[in-house]
């Protein structure tokens, strides 16, 4: 920081970012991804604009020239970048775009000393390699706060344009702050975006899921303001249920990505699963999720070499059949060495959540999740423990399900909701820890429960039991 005695005209020095530079350069990281693109999004209420055209139930804009002006990053003061970009037609399809149709200012880093051969050029945003952490497939330009950073795409004729599909800069978790944050959109010189521009979601910094974001030109509504959002969310709150059993309100979170960490199971060291998840908005209404909203890492048991076509995939978490023992309506994933199992709920706009309901895995109770943590845009907001499905919940009559209890994470102070969900609320605290003490590899204090000495230790992957649930085929 400069003191008052120092001159104001201190030279501005942009940090180096070339991959082949000196030892002071950021380490180069690589990862691979091969996920399908996200599907179509539902139409949203239109925003009044002069270039708007109605095609059936879809609001689109007709024009020949599309201008994108990126005015902010997620925190980096020197560079701004993207991984991929698509222009969406009226049916959600990607319109054909070639490099000769594109013009950017600045176009790349080549005019900066030491970056003359940097390969993070404009063509990379349309090369199709979008789910990646390799910056060889990304576009990066100098960023100057308060100035325009424009990308213009000119088509040979006027086309219907409904929105953008964006993959933000994703080289590494720390490099995601170079990603574009705000974009202002014009079509044939007419403003399409709101006065503050469209908000672009920050990249995850990994390739655990397809992080494409769809921005619909017809309108990007601001999320509802949570009733308790007057103060900043405090992740230091440790308990949602007081000693006398009364519920204590926890600040309602609002973000793009809700990430559920499944830290342990109720005994199975090889698999972890859930039956279902429901998420409710700031007005306590259930959010209807689609396959593009849900992801998991590892994705499912299908990632194992000896398993294929198992139906227990992430989309089963939101199929609405949660109180069941039918494996066809559950999600199951392997527990792999050095890998934390995660479930992602992904939104294209910041979304406030008042309540999350979770149904634990019921087909094999010891495969159910035990210790969990909830992160919103990488900020830890909750941790607690799910109870296993009890044997009595499976019913006495075979193939006859009985209602199963769910677990609720509450972020609301609505008394009616608290009263209704009182018996299913998960306490925002971890269970008691059992500790073994060692000194120079000599055990000086034993676990009170000897069985816990084996928990958390790597297991022999060769002994993993086989599991499979496939779709039933019916004879005609």
| C-beta of residue 270 within 8 angstroms of C-beta of residue 466 | no
Who has greater pLDDT, 20 or 158?
Answer: 158
pLDDT band for 470, please (50, 70, 90 cuts).
confident
For the cut 50, the answer to whether the pLDDT of residue 53 exceeds it is yes
**What integer pLDDT is reported at residue 425 of this predicted model?**
85
Question: What does the alpha-carbon distance between residue 173 and residue 435 come to, in Å, rounded to a whole number?
Answer: 32
pLDDT band for 427, please (50, 70, 90 cuts).
low
Judged on CB neighbours under 10 Å (0-12, 13-18, 19+), 243 is exposed
**What integer pLDDT is reported at residue 89 of this predicted model?**
95
Beta bridge partners of 65: 154
**What integer pLDDT is reported at residue 120 of this predicted model?**
97
Per-residue pLDDT, averaged over 42-65, amounts to 63
pLDDT tens across 295-324, in order? 999 999 999 998 889 999 999 999 999 999
Residue 115 tokens read as 């970056």
Average pLDDT, the chain: 82
Residue 24 tokens read as 């002071």
Q: In degrees, to the nearest 5, what angle opens at C-alpha 245 toward C-alphas 242 and 250?
A: 45
Residue 303 tokens read as 């990632």
| C-beta of residue 110 within 8 angstroms of C-beta of residue 118 | yes
For the cut 50, the answer to whether the pLDDT of residue 177 exceeds it is yes
**What integer pLDDT is reported at residue 222 of this predicted model?**
57
Per-residue pLDDT, averaged over 334-357, amounts to 96
Per-residue pLDDT, averaged over 132-159, amounts to 96
* Ranges 182-186, 411-415, 447-451: which has the least confidence: 447-451
Question: What does the alpha-carbon distance between residue 17 and residue 182 come to, in Å, rounded to a whole number?
Answer: 22
Share in percent of the chain as helix, strand, coil (round to 5) = 10, 30, 55
pLDDT band for 59, please (50, 70, 90 cuts).
confident
Percent residues over pLDDT 70 in the chain: 71
pLDDT tens across 93-105, in order? 999 999 999 999 9
Distance of CA 162 to the CA centre of its chain: 23
Distances in whole angstroms, Cα of residue 427 to Cα of each of 156, 416, 468: 59, 18, 34
pLDDT tens across 178-202, in order? 999 999 999 999 999 999 999 999 9
pLDDT tens across 322-343, in order? 999 999 999 999 999 999 999 9
């Amino acid at each position: 920081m400069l003191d008052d005695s120092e001159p104001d005209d201190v030279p501005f020095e942009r940090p180096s970012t070339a991959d082949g530079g000196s030892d002071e350069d950021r380490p180069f990281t690589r990862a691979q991804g091969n996920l399908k693109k996200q599907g179509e999004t539902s139409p949203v209420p239109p925003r009044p604009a002069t270039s708007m055209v109605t095609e059936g139930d879809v609001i689109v804009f007709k024009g020949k020239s599309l201008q994108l002006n990126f005015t902010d990053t997620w925190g980096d003061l020197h560079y701004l970048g993207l991984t991929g970009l698509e222009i969406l037609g009226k049916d959600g399809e990607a319109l054909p775009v070639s490099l000769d149709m594109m013009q950017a200012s600045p176009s790349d880093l080549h005019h900066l000393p030491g970056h003359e051969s940097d390969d993070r050029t404009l063509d990379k945003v349309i090369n199709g390699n979008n789910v990646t952490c390799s910056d060889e497939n990304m576009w990066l330009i100098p960023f100057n706060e308060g100035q325009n950073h424009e990308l213009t795409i000119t088509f040979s004729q006027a086309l219907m344009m409904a929105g953008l599909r964006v993959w933000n800069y994703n080289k590494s978790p720390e490099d995601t702050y170079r990603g574009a944050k705000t974009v202002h959109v014009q079509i044939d010189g007419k403003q399409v975006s709101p006065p503050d521009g469209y908000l672009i979601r920050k990249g995850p910094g990994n390739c655990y899921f397809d992080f494409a974001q769809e921005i619909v030109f017809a309108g990007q509504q601001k999320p509802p303001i949570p009733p308790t959002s007057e103060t900043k969310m405090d992740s230091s709150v440790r308990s949602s249920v007081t000693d006398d059993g009364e519920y204590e309100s926890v600040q309602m979170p609002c973000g793009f990505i809700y990430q559920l960490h499944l830290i342990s199971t109720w005994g199975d060291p090889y698999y972890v699963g859930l039956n279902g998840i429901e998420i409710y908005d700031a007005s306590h209404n259930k959010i209807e999720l689609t396959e593009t909203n849900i992801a998991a890492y590892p994705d499912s048991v299908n990632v194992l070499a000896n398993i294929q076509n198992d139906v227990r995939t992430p989309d089963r978490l939101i199929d609405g059949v949660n109180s069941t023992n039918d494996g066809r309506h559950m999600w199951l994933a392997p527990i792999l060495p050095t890998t934390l199992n995660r479930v992602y709920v992904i939104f294209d706009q910041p979304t406030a959540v008042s309540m999350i309901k979770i149904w634990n895995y019921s087909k094999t109770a010891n495969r159910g999740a035990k210790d969990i943590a909830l992160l919103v845009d990488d900020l830890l907001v909750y941790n607690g423990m799910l109870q296993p499905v009890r044997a009595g919940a499976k019913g006495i009559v075979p193939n006859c399900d009985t209602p199963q209890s769910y677990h609720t994470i509450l972020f609301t102070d609505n008394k009616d909701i608290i009263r209704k969900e009182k018996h299913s609320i998960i306490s925002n605290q971890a269970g008691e820890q059992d500790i073994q003490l060692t000194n120079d590899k000599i055990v000086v204090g034993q676990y009170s429960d000897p069985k816990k000495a084996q928990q958390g230790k790597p297991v022999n992957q060769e002994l993993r039991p086989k599991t499979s649930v496939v779709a039933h085929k019916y004879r005609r």
